[in-house]
Structure 1
Amino acid sequence: MPEPVVTSIVQGTLGRVIDRLADKYLPSSVSEKEREEFRIRARELALKEAEAEARAIESVNATIREEGRSEHWMQWAWRPLIGFTFAAVVINNYILLPYFRNLGLQPIDIPSGIWESMLVILGVAAGTRGLEKWARERK
């Protein structure tokens, strides 16, 4: 059963977008019945996509909750550690370096693959944290 919020988004905002796209891009030779079938099918696909995304986010949330209950500090501390590392690199490379380069401060060079991984982890952590807060406030 889809979440009521997901359903209302698909029927509301996304439904209006689908209707406008159908009106604008379907050729005039398409009958009204075919247009309506297209709209229904597009909404169904959008709903399935939103449900899949919600399940993926819930899976990540479950993992984070399990890590938070762990007694081993490294299991629950690795995400904040990545966040602090990211902040340290940004502070060093973009705030301190311009002022202290003459004193020997060096930029921290992080390969792009590792940088992207850090950003993904931070994005997922921030996104799931925001969703948790939003869900708590809705109750």
Structure 2
Amino acid sequence: MKSSMFKSLSLGLLTTALMTVSVTHAATQQEENINVTPTQKITQQELAAIYVLSEVCPSLVKDDAQFEKGYSKLAQEYLPQEKDAVSALSKLSKEKKFKSILAEARTDAKKAGDAKNKEICQELTTYSN
């Protein structure tokens, strides 16, 4: 439950801060839980937003090792078919066709500001727990 709650919070913050993350909401009746999960088909914008966290967060968090664990877990959840999702994202970031999407995600992160980005980054430090 903690993991799904954090996933919900984390994805909500990503959406607000980076404005490129799309999330599928599976809304149910009032007495049932609301489940927020990544879409079946992950968008390039979502992957760019996640990658940008690897650029923004190291200077905003105190515990780099914990951030790396949380970031790795998040990346693996979005790219479960990859053996090493972090490396796959890094490789994707260098592809020509991905450059404009990545630039947009970087611009959105700048617009969000350090306070909002720090909040997201701090959440990722506890995501692996």
Instruction: Flag the structure with higher strand content.
Output: 2
**Higher normalized contact order (CA 8 Å, seq sep 6+, divided by chain length):** 2
Instruction: Say which one has the larger Rg.
Output: 1
- TM-score, structure 2 normalization: 0.25
Instruction: Flag the structure with higher helix content.
Output: 1
- TM-score, structure 1 normalization: 0.23
